Amino acid sequence: MDITLITTWIHPILAVIWVFPLIGIVTYFSLQVRQRRLETTTGKKSKIPPAVGVEHVKLGRWMAGSVVILCLVGLAHPTITKGFITQHLMTENPFLGIFIILIFIFTILSLAFLYRAKTKLWRGIFATLTSMGLIIIGSQEWIFRRSSEWYLSHYYYGLTSTILMVVSLAIVQEIYKDRSHKWRKAHIALNIFAVLLFIGQGITGIRDVATIAFFAAK
């Protein structure tokens, strides 16, 4: 039993049994919210219950945080196996090793504070810090980025969709406050793009699982 290979599966398993079902539920509720709002603004009585809005946001908050954690798990595996174990980071470059551990901790803390932040300023600060943490961890040399084929890269799709989730968390209050619906429209556009990226993550993720298994079997 190769422990490095087996632990590679933690991230895909988490994606399949927890994150993707949540994405499906949140997307379903989003269509209900929209349909209900369009029906009620044209004066019609909607058959869709008003609770769909609350459910969309409640599960949306769970989903957004879960995507960030999933992304961190996806980044943690190569960081530990390639960076810390194969490249002996703690003996070769202990400063970088400690820095990376601290960035993991700060990113999780920033996400937790983003959930609790009340003002626009603090939401902006913690959303930026969470995104910066993900980018710093993701730019280390041991992360496989497939930069020459960035348009098929699990890394670039993953980081972009995760940052879009952080943005969604940060702008929830703005969607409710804004009477001109600008934030609502921005939210819809960004999240349709995120859903397309999630589909891309499903496809590129399966490709990567298969590729890793193929090379391990050789």
* Number of residue whose CB is nearest ligand HEM: 205
> Judged by CB under 6 A, does residue 126 bind ligand HEM?
no
Closest Cα partner for 165 from 64, 79, 72? 64
Choice between 131 and 208, CB closer to ligand HEM: 208
Terminal Cα distance for the chain, rounded: 15
Residue 96 exposure: Cα atoms within 13 Å on the Cβ side: 17
Integer Cα distance of 130 and 67 in angstroms = 12
DSSP single-letter state for residue 50: T
Select from 69, 90, 136, 212 the one that contacts ligand HEM (CB under 6 A). 212
Closest Cα partner for 64 from 202, 167, 138, 136? 167
Integer Cα distance of 97 and 65 in angstroms = 25
Choice between 88 and 144, CB closer to ligand HEM: 144
> Judged by CB under 6 A, does residue 56 bind ligand HEM?
yes
Minimum CB–partner distance for residue 88 and ligand HEM (Å): 18
> Judged by CB under 6 A, does residue 209 bind ligand HEM?
yes
Select from 89, 103, 133, 187 the one that contacts ligand HEM (CB under 6 A). 187
Integer Cα distance of 115 and 134 in angstroms = 17
> Judged by CB under 6 A, does residue 23 bind ligand HEM?
yes
Choice between 34 and 136, CB closer to ligand HEM: 34
> Judged by CB under 6 A, does residue 188 bind ligand HEM?
yes
> Judged by CB under 6 A, does residue 67 bind ligand HEM?
yes
Minimum CB–partner distance for residue 191 and ligand HEM (Å): 3
> Judged by CB under 6 A, does residue 76 bind ligand HEM?
no
Q: Rg (Cα) of the chain, in Å, rounded?
A: 19
